[in-house]
Structure 1
Amino acid sequence: MKTHKIICTLALTLVFSMGYSQKGKVREANEAYDNLAYLKTSEILLEVAENGYKTVNLLQKLANSFYFNNKMEEAAKWYGELMAMNENEDLDPEYYFRYGQALKSIENYSESDKWMKKFAESDRSDLRGRAFLSTVDYLSMIEEASRDFEVKNLEINTDVSDFGATQYKNQLIFASTRGGGKEYKWNEQPYLDLYSADKQENNSYGNAKQLDSEINTKFHESTVAFTPDDQVMYFTRNNYFNKKYKKDEEGTNRLKIFKATLNDDGEWDDIESVHFNDDAYSVAHPTINVKGTKLYFASDMEGTLGMSDIFMVDINADGTLGDPINLGPSVNTEGQETFPFVNSDGDLYFSSNGFNGLGGLDVFVIRDFENKQELSQPMALENVGRPINSPMDDFAYYENLGTKEGFFTSNRDGGKGDDDIYSFMIPECEQIVEGIVKDQETEEIIVGAKVTLLDKDGNQLEQQIVGADGAYKFENLECEKEYLIRIEADQYATIEERFTTPKKPQKLEIKSNLQRDEVELEPCADLAKILDIPIIYFDFDKSNIRYDAEVELQKVLAVLNKYPTMTIDIRSHTDCRGTASYNEKLSERRAKSTRQYLVDKGVDADRLTAKGYGESRLVNDCGCETTDDTNCSEEEHQLNRRSEFIVTSINGKKCPEKN
């Protein structure tokens, strides 16, 4: 017989069975730096946007500049404006994801969920979206979660039922039917009692003996939890107290949780029933968090979603307990959720047959559960995989992150009895993260780049300056931990990459390509190329400035305001279509119209010259007099319809000649 059947009847018809960040900082230019006339394009974009000139492209670049520098409050603002402007247009789903992440970082979780859902619906093949909707294939997920370490059947196991191990000082406390005495009719084995086993020098456990008679009775006792000071114990027992054996209206004896206190003689006494026990339902399998502020348990009390759910109560400062709270659908299903355990990191483990698993009860975990519960953050459920889980029942998970010891119970093949306790050592899992810092466009190595490794909260862990090979490497990272890599270099936009290390040891390569963000302005430079200004569009046969052209001219205006010694020559060009004379006159009008716009915005007219060149300076072979213009595509003609903003002088230096 399986122990989960024992706990079933002794329990009820419910068949109980049985882990932001600190904002990224970008170095601001000092006075000497400004004198070199480096232009930070993100600053220009911000100034343009704040002046009310916005396009989808501009907002994308602006929001990204904050996002990749981990300035999430600003990123959320500009992504929000991007979404509002682009409400009825197609947008790369990646922007929904980034917006959702940015909103989450400022604790706007409900709005974040909205955009994460839109992200998932926009690209159902993306694993992040699929994880959000919990639709990932469970078998592949379980295999991915599985790890290669040894589990051992404890020597203290017998040919009957042994389960539910918990450490107490240098002892292991567990339940067993080995004690003889009155038999439980369900499996014709004695009723469960609580036992202790002493830790040996070789880290095994032996010398198993019953706990004192104040705890053990002639009925079932099992699963214990201790407060952090080791002075209070909670344990599971049949509804039997003060020699009274009680049943519900249907004649079923339920389970209850009892509390015992350690007296001065080192014995457990002052046993009392917790206030939320009831003859009509069961409560069982207590566990306490490392702070001693929360007690978790399983029950089929009112409000249960399924056969049994995981509940939580506050442990008040005076030791009293609050009112039970059902952990809800993030944890519970219409099936069985039971045997909760919370480790020192606040991860919640429990067993369930309501989620996809390998068979029977599987052990699941929600990483960083307590923190996420407090902040109302979304939770991700993970099947812990093999070798903890098997096709049989696996439950009563317990681990000590300090000693690296772990225990669970299983009725898998190869055991000694109905249910056996298995032990394991939590495997060391170290990651290596490496990369090579390169220029995104040229792929040249960026010597002297600073690479910083941070934890998920933005605390610096390690820092390296890359050498001639551009390589960096961080070793001994922990598995299943969230980190950030920040890469900085002069004249480049700082990037940050947030990642979570996997469950298995391996090398991770981080993409480390930087995009130039600062350009040294020199005489003869073309601001149109530096600021990525496309064609300055005019309506057909007209030279008045359109709104979309204003957005681009605002970039030029911002540069002129930033560098008051700069003078520029505005050059307007056309393609070959139309007569040469007409094109020259039209481009001349457009160049002067552009100049007048900047003058009207406050730029000294002496700093600006303007000229139209018509079709006289084509950048390709699409000349209508020399070739058939129909051989050129519209895109090729468009290359000739360009505007140039040539720096004729800056900081006393002049362009040698007009080209």
Structure 2
Amino acid sequence: MKKATSSVLYPVFWLPLIVVLLQLSCTSLQQKAQNQFSAGEYQMAISTFSKLLEKEPENNEANLFIAESYRLSNRIEKAATYYEKVSENNATFESEYYKGKSLKGKGEYDSARVAFEAAKTLTMDDEKIALAEKEVKNIDALSEIEPIWPNHELENYELLNTSGIDYAPVLSENYLYFTSSRGAGDLYPATGQGYTRLFRARAEGINVDVQNVQTLPEFQNETGLNQGAIAISPDGNTIIYARGNAASKSVIPEVSLFASYFRGGGFTEPIFMPVNGEPEYWNSTPAFSASGDTLYFASNRPEGYGGIDLYRSTKLANGDFGNVVNMGPEINTPGNELFPRPLPNGEFYFSSDGHPGYGKLDLFVAKEENGSITVRNLGPNFNSIADDFGIFFTDYPEEGYLTSNRSGGKGDDDIYYFKDMTPAPKVVNVLLNVVTKERLENGEEQVLPQTRVVLYDDNNQTIDGNFSSQSGRLRFPLEPEKEYTMIASKTGYFTQSIPYSTVGKTPAPEDLIQDVTNITLDTTIVLEQLVLERAIVLENIYYDLDKAEIRPDAAQELDKLVKILKDNPGIRIELSSHTDARASDAYNEDLSQRRAESAVEYIVSQGIDPSRLEARGYGEQQLIIENAQTEEEHQINRRTEFKVIEITE
């Protein structure tokens, strides 16, 4: 991230020391280098001090100034060897602390931890000790970072990027706006890169018309200045962007926010925003809320939590933004927080080098959960040891853009796009073949055509239904691992509900090989004819000797009758009990009546309206086998039956 940078980006512990060193110039070459450093021309200073080191490799001042030039131009990862040289000569908290930052920026975490631990021993300042301790804790926390979206992949947008700087894309009204150093005529002396300007190109999501990139048409880019990150209001009528790093520090404050408004068919010339505050404040990386009523930005104004903090500002009645509020210690750290990105769902994305991360700036998301704010690193598929920042979702959370200067890019800062590359789930199609049949009086089954079968889900919602064909067949598409109910009905037959489950009837997801697997299942539904006054025996209804109480095994059989009554709410039945002929007529009639009434009471207890039931005890009046001799024959005579005595619908 080498744009709009300056010494105000990071805490400057060494300012008094550097002033003293500037006063100790001994050669014209060193004087030239020091003058370049004082002017913020860090790349030039690096070049000049490097010539001194060729002659004097142990020149402590030259090593220090090169290290600081890299740090202050946001290239601290290149400074480790120079800080090491400084520490060899005269180790201080600053030389070890920034050496640790540099080593961390290179991904050398163990060596960075050693440097931070050493820094803690070189100061009595509690604030400095806390800074080093936090860096150690952040390194220790790296092992706990897990990707939020493990299947998202980044791709360098090579056709859009240049060999220079390209960063901070935002999409608005089918245009991609971004900042780039392409075509720059002058070099920004702090980094040796061209001054950055604002550009746009037509885009749909992450598809950009890279052949027709143009400078921002709404207003003219300023020459000799860095145009920084841009924000566009949701209605497209306000553009806010950062501008600064002039060759002459007296022209304008170093980095400030400017606004342009759509008025009278065009955009106004950008104006300095009151939200910038004092002239010495550094303000950049703006972003609007989804409503457009809140502006988020980064600033180094005092009384914050570190080098650069994130702030929010609300729109005033006159259209300006005011009431600037720091976003608090849950977001901000002693390090730097930049590039805010609020989402309509309440998630807040930003970049930070103060929360546990892999190197320099990492991407994070803050969410309010259970009344507190939690901050998570987006994970190693988004972040690297380099700067990763400026996320923008074109289709949350599946795709979008971000910026990174990680190795392997096309230029310095490059624009990347990301997509969710989660493999499409393997599909299992379940087809249930249903055959409808009827049971004949002789117990055999035959096809029952034109039977209506309705399919319900586990919430009793109808999801399908049809009539069986002349061959008694129909088919339902089902889902794996689901519970269903089918209700089959036909005039003249008992309606029947049949539970059906696909649980355990399809391969486990990890066992699937093909993208699409078709599973065919089969079931048969058998209906009974509904004939008035025709007795139907309930099997296995047993009573203890000379007793009428319903036994548990009998209750299970009676539950089947309960189901028939619930499936067929328009019928009334007579439930009858019969005995064998081995006791007196009077005894058997009384016993059978009590047993029939007991069975009816049980059925009523299961929710059946008692008006639909009649209990009759026939005793031994209706023997099936006259003169029964064996126990098996007596058992046939001892039975419970029901018959439909009325159909009301």
TM-score (normalised: structure 2): 0.44
Larger gyration radius, structure 1 or structure 2: 2
More contact order relative to length (CA 8 Å, sep ≥ 6) = 1
Give me the TM-score of the superposition, normalised by structure 1: 0.44
